Amino acid sequence: MAGRYQHSELAVGLRALKNHFGLTNRQIAAAAGVDERRVGAWLRGEHVPGRSSLRQIVRAMVRLAGRARNRRPLPDEHAHLLDDGETGPWWAWRDAAGAEDTGAPLSPLQAHIREFGTLIEERTRRFTGRGFVLDAIEGFLGDPAFASGYVVLQGEPGIGKTTVLAELIRRHGCVHHFNIATEGIRSADAFLADVCAQLIVRYGLDHADLPAAASRDGGFLSRLLAEAAVRHPVLVVVDALDEAEEAPDGTNTLFLPSTLPRGVHFVVSTREQHDLRLLVEDRRDVMLRDDDPRNIADITDHVSEVLRTGDGRLTGYRPDKLVDVLVERSEGNFMYVKHVLRDILAGVLTPSDVDTLPNGLRDYYRTHWNRMRARDAEHFLRFQEPTICLLATAREPVTAGQVTEWVREHWAANGWDGTRVRQYLVLEVVRQWREYLNTDGGGADTRYRIYHSSFQDFLREEIGLADYHTSVSASALAKIAITETSSRPA
Ligand SMILES: Nc1ncnc2c1ncn2[C@@H]1O[C@H](COP(=O)(O)OP(=O)(O)O)[C@@H](O)[C@H]1O
Ligand SMILES: [Mg+2]
């Protein structure tokens, strides 16, 4: 059943190997000669691989890793993952994980379940504090006076909502869904299919597959919640309602039901929104405020800890002052400290920059944008700005090849000679901006997207993306024209 050993060491180990080397399930499946959906189920911890399957996929990953672009050695705590010998850790984990996957066909439901393991691990890697938020959420969930309903976590972009929910999911192994605008996961359809399939698998409900109506409205979801709640308390976590598509008039975002059966709770997150479409019967709010002393304390702890472990690279800094300034300038925003700490440890910022650190996340983006432009205005105008803005325009993660095509289109629109735009130049920009991007997969199929929605907001609101939307549409239209001409009978 889904989530039964979702967080067992076996599944966690498999995901760590995959993530470190940036592999996709498809690559692993092809290299190991097994079904891709089965690989997904093993990595999600929904099925236990047999001994020979396990050996096959571990070997396949190690082999692929040798060819992967990310050839960083595994960190010490994961080095043992490369050991697939009989004394390695895999076999003990496998035995502990319980009954083995018999190789029977996977249920069609698996195809609807999305894989968010990478996101959950990435967000919670250096998780700090947040006891007060998790206690507040868990307090509501355990409150007998709140037998069912929604807990709504609110806070500004970059403060750490997604991270709190990722930690909650890691702890409870509950049904979950993340809306990720930059990845194109924002439709009600995607949400309903994912969550309905998880509910059926996890609570052993009597449905072999999703009916077509499952993702049309909230009806099937409500029915499954009622069926599951007969025997179990049910918890569903849904991140970033603000990144989901706009709901039709008169309905809740994602068709979330306004009444929930007894014993069913949803924990959802959103930025503070006056027009949030969530009319529900019973609801509790948890506010994550930037100026809350407990938020500031968590950020202080995180900064101190990261600086403590980065010691060698901090010569010339006055550590106490650095912590104070960084925390004050962060304006209570975790995304801000993440960017600035990385700049400090990478030597992009120097001790003399401490007094002029930007104020808050938006100002940080602005400063970084200008700093990159000042380095080489011509290269910035021709390559960096178009590449980044086009990535911010894309509806889902895209390959460097696709971005190159769009950059050419953008050049043509400006009357520049687009043949000078080469893919390696686009890849160079991607490398220069890698901290702002998320990378999925590896090799030629590597796909990129903007890492955080707050950076996309900055680009849309301050740099302007309208021209870039035009280039993307022009490129798509040109393709349609070509296919139509070439498919027309001679
Ligand atoms: N408690 C925390 N400990 C460590 N890092 C955190 C914490 N909260 C947030 N971060 C980091 O800050 C960044 C922004 O957090 P995120 O959860 O994406 O914010 P939000 O969802 O509110 O926009 C992420 O890169 C995340 O890893
Ligand atoms: Mg978020």
- How far CA 345 is from CA of 87, 337, 341, in Å, comes to 38, 12, 6
Instruction: Say yes or no: CB of residue 160 within 6 Å of ligand 1.
Output: yes
- Give the fold, CATH level 3, of 376-486: Arc Repressor Mutant, subunit A (1.10.10)
Question: Band of the pLDDT at 404, cuts 50, 70, 90?
Answer: very high
SS3 185: strand
**90-99, 125-134, 358-367, 481-490: least confident range:** 481-490
The beta-strand segments (E) located in 276-351 are: 283-287
**pLDDT of 23 over the 90 cut:** no
What residue owns the CA closest to ligand 1's atom 15?
Answer: 160
Q: Is the dihedral of CA 312, 317, 318, 323 positive or negative?
A: negative
What residue owns the CA closest to ligand 1's atom 9?
Answer: 160
Question: Packing angle between helix 36-44 and helix 51-67, nearest 10 degrees?
Answer: 100
Portion of the chain with pLDDT greater than 70, in percent:
92
**pLDDT of 70 over the 60 cut:** no
Q: How far is the CA of 160 from the centre of ligand 1 (A)?
A: 4
Question: Band of the pLDDT at 381, cuts 50, 70, 90?
Answer: very high
DSSP one-letter string for 75-89: PGGGGGGG--STTSH
Question: Band of the pLDDT at 219, cuts 50, 70, 90?
Answer: very high
With beta carbons less than 8 A apart as the criterion, state whether 5 and 42 touch.
no
Q: How far is the CA of 333 from the centre of ligand 1 (A)?
A: 8
Class at the top of the CATH hierarchy for domain 120-287: alpha beta
Query: What are the pLDDT digits (tens) for 310-337?
Result: 767 777 888 888 899 999 999 999 999 9
pLDDT, position 278 = 92
Q: How far is the CA of 218 from the centre of ligand 2 (A)?
A: 24
**pLDDT of 297 over the 60 cut:** yes
Instruction: Say yes or no: CB of residue 132 within 6 Å of ligand 1.
Output: no
pLDDT, position 103 = 67
d(CA 470, CA 389): 12
Q: Which of 35, 16, 15, 14 is nearest to 26 (CA)?
A: 35
pLDDT, position 12 = 82
β-strands 149-154, 398-399: how paired?
Answer: unpaired
Q: How far is the CA of 6 from the centre of ligand 1 (A)?
A: 22
Encoded tokens for 253 = 């975002």
**58-72, 139-153, 291-305: least confident range:** 58-72
pLDDT, position 73 = 73
d(CA 335, CA 330): 8
Could you tell me the pTM of the whole model? 0.82
Q: Is the dihedral of CA 74, 76, 81, 83 positive or negative?
A: positive
Could you say which ligand is closest to the alpha carbon of residue 457?
1
Class at the top of the CATH hierarchy for domain 9-104: mainly alpha
Average pLDDT, the chain: 87
Q: What is the edge-to-edge ordering of all strands in the sheet holding 447-450?
A: 398-399, 447-450, 437-440
Range 259-265 average pLDDT: 96
Query: What are the pLDDT digits (tens) for 445-489?
Result: 789 999 999 999 999 999 999 989 988 888 777 777 655 555 544
Question: Band of the pLDDT at 2, cuts 50, 70, 90?
Answer: very low
For the chain, give the number of residues: 490
pLDDT, position 388 = 97
pLDDT, position 100 = 75
Q: How far is the CA of 314 from the centre of ligand 1 (A)?
A: 23
Give the domain ranges of the chain: 9-104, 120-287, 293-371, 376-486
Query: What are the pLDDT digits (tens) for 87-99?
Result: 678 888 888 777 7
pLDDT, position 136 = 97
Question: Band of the pLDDT at 490, cuts 50, 70, 90?
Answer: very low
d(CA 404, CA 421): 7
Question: Band of the pLDDT at 425, cuts 50, 70, 90?
Answer: very high
pLDDT, position 167 = 93
pLDDT, position 141 = 95
pLDDT, position 311 = 67
Return phi, psi of residue 459, to 5°. Answer: -65, -40
Q: Which atom belonging to ligand 1 lies closest to the Cα atom of 288?
A: 22
Encoded tokens for 94 = 């496998």
Instruction: Say yes or no: CB of residue 178 within 6 Å of ligand 1.
Output: no
Portion of the chain with pLDDT greater than 90, in percent:
52
